[in-house]
Structure 1
Amino acid sequence: MFVVFDLDGTLADHSHRHHHVMEEPQNWDAFFAECPADAPHPQVIAALHAHQKSGHRVEIWSGRSAVVKTETRQWLSKHGINPDLLKHMRPVDDLTADDTLKENWLRAATPRPDAVYEDRTLVVDMFRRNGIACFQVAPGDY
């Protein structure tokens, strides 16, 4: 089985910085800069570890900007997640909508994931339209 996990809002609690992108003008630089302070979502991290222990292939696909790739890898390591699981991040200065960005990654994926853990309703709906079982771990109507 091949399972994909989202990062912001799924493995990581980004609620403390979410205000940066919920009002105009959106400040994506500030949103991403505060990611090292994210708290973990222990239940979702436990699910990731359970998949690994079951021998499943696990990857992290994040819409987070690659501008904070080093900080992201450090956060993963700090919270007991192998940073090498991070397979996709948003290219620097790319403002593609999350559902489109992840659908492009899905189209290129070989093999296709069997399941995804995600929070954003927009992205959950996209995976489900593409026949992928998607576990929505938190409300994500943003």
Structure 2
Amino acid sequence: MREAEIFDVDGTLCDVSGVRHHVRGERRNFEAFHEAALGCPPHAWVVDGARAAAREGRAVVVVTARREHWRAGTSFWLALHDVPSDHLYLRGEHDGRPDVEVKRDVLAQVRQRYRVVRAWDDNPNVISLWESEGIDVVVVPGWDDEPSRP
């Protein structure tokens, strides 16, 4: 089985520090967050990690909890920032489960094709999932940072 590395999008490949205010507090607006995230810059060092994985012959598997209707925008963002991607997995359109549950199911699908050797993520709950599955994790800081003010 080919080796693979899993990369999250928001907060990991994509630096969403300037738009996290949309999903903090009581009035969370994920549509506004994802729309604004399309204009956010990459975390260059994480993108470099994806490029290095691809150069080493590993599959780059992008796994995001964004809803399916963000596929075109997410694919565009990945291409714009020259992020290699063998597969892009998104949350189903009507799937309201927590991110960790969505990613647990995606991992089962990914493991049918690849041997996952590393994951890159910023979400503590998802990081715990990867670690509990025996996957080395590169933790991207920023999840608990104070939100930026618009």
TM-score (norm 2): 0.86
Higher relative contact order (CA 8 A, sep 6+): 2
Higher helix share: 1
Aligned to 2:136: 133
Aligned to 1:119: 122
- Percent identity between matched residues is 27
Name the CA distance, whole Å, in 1 between partners of 2:17 and 2:38: 13
For the aligned residues, what is the CA RMSD? 1.7
1:99 aligns with 2:90: no
Which of structure 1's runs of 4+ aligned residues deviate more than 2 A? 84-87, 139-142
In the alignment, structure 2 segments of 5+ residues that lack a partner are 146-150
Aligned to 2:23: 21
Name the count of aligned residue pairs: 141
Name the CA distance, whole Å, in 2 between partners of 1:96 and 1:3: 23
Name the CA distance, whole Å, in 1 between partners of 2:96 and 2:33: 13
Give the match's secondary structure for 1:117. Answer: strand
Give the match's secondary structure for 1:114. Answer: strand
Q: 1:67 aligned to 57, 66, 69, which one? A: 69
In the alignment, structure 1 segments of 5+ residues that lack a partner are none
Contact 2:17 2:142 in 1 (8 A): no
Paired residue type of 1:26: R
Greater shift in the superposed pair: 59-68 or 3-12: 59-68
